[in-house]
Structure 1
Amino acid sequence: MVTSGRRMALAALSALAAASVFTAPANATVFNQEISVRPYAHITEDGSVTLSGAYRCEGASPRGAVQVKATVIQEGIRLTVAAGDARCDGERHRWEARGSVRFTPGLHAGRAEAVAQLQEVHFSGLMPRSIDTLAEDGKNIEVFDHR
């Protein structure tokens, strides 16, 4: 399987961004961009954690890529996953992000916090130059474990 340099750079940037703290307030919108996260997450039989929600964005920069990033936080354990590239056509779209509990085995059924961010990644060549948070939603959620 061949992976493009831009896709690899986005994956690396997503991993770095997971450790970063962004300062956009909950439910923030910028220039008619918005995102929401559903009040629940699921851990499936195969050990995947799934978060979902909806987003809307318009007019992304031609020098960047817009992505959805979601994080679940429970008792100090943090799992951040990317939901992929966003389609910024002004319409409302569903998103779904899935990550593995293999790297965060302490996630379990119960209360947690979820944060979804709509981010624009700006590039300089193949390397990410900066990340702008266009919209963010955070809320208390319930995690359901189906294992």
Structure 2
Amino acid sequence: MSGRRTTLTALSALAATTVFTVPAGATVFEQAVFVHQDAHIDQDGAITLSGSYYCEQASPMGAMQIKATVIQEGAGRLTVGTGDLLCDGAEHIWKVHTPQFGAGVHRGHATATADLQEIRLQGLMPKSVDTVAQDTQKIVIR
């Protein structure tokens, strides 16, 4: 009976380790990103998008960024990234002002998506990019 109990204990420990083991470098923190419903377009066509986010420190082998995408019926798709995020668990504002690069986005209604992404690096090159939070909103470009 003692051998059986020892075997059961060992198997239980192995199962618990297997179930609760997180891959090295995995993100396990509370993180979120939000896109504001108002966007602005300048006379030269440059777009300003904004929102808020919160995150905790990225993997020691990576960095965090926000990728913002605007899609508008009858126009192209505009995607831009932001960097230099402060990941301290507090909520922060993000804002991006970018030329359109020929996307054709104009005043009116559109859809914007913000992705909070963790970039894992291998040396100086990105090894992987994982979306850890996302928000999609109907917006008005003014």
Q: Normalising by the residue count of structure 2, what TM-score does the alignment of the two structures yield? A: 0.75
After the TM superposition, which residues 98-113 of structure 1 pair with which residues of structure 2 at under 5 Å, given as runs? 98-104=97-103, 106-113=104-111
Match for 2:38: what amino acid? Y
Q: Name the structure 2 match of 1:22.
A: none
| 1:34 shift after superposition | 0.6
Gaps of 5+ in 2: 1-27
Task: Tell me the number of residue pairs that the alignment of Structure 1 and Structure 2 aligns.
Answer: 114
Identical residues among aligned pairs (%): 52
Q: Name the structure 2 match of 1:143.
A: 141
Match for 1:95: what amino acid? W
After the TM superposition, which residues 49-128 of structure 1 pair with which residues of structure 2 at under 5 Å, given as runs? 49-75=47-73, 77-104=76-103, 106-128=104-126
**If you compute each CA radius of gyration, which structure gives the higher value, 1 or 2?**
2
Contact 1:81 1:98 (8 Å CA) reproduced: no
| 1:83 shift after superposition | 2.0
Contact 1:118 1:135 (8 Å CA) reproduced: yes
The structure, 1 or 2, with the larger RCO (C-alpha pairs under 8 Å, 6+ apart) is 1
Give the Cα–Cα distance (whole angstroms) in 1 for the partners of residues 129 and 71 of structure 2.
22
* Bigger proportion of residues as strand: 1
**RMSD value over aligned CA atoms?**
1.4
Match for 2:79: what amino acid? T
Give the Cα–Cα distance (whole angstroms) in 2 for the partners of residues 93 and 87 of structure 1.
8
Q: Name segments (4+ residues, structure 1) moved above 2 Å.
A: none
Q: Normalising by the residue count of structure 1, what TM-score does the alignment of the two structures yield? A: 0.73
After the TM superposition, which residues 3-18 of structure 1 pair with which residues of structure 2 at under 5 Å, given as runs? none
Gaps of 5+ in 1: 1-29
Deviation sequence 1:25-45 (CA, Å, 0-9, x none): xxxxx7310110001211012
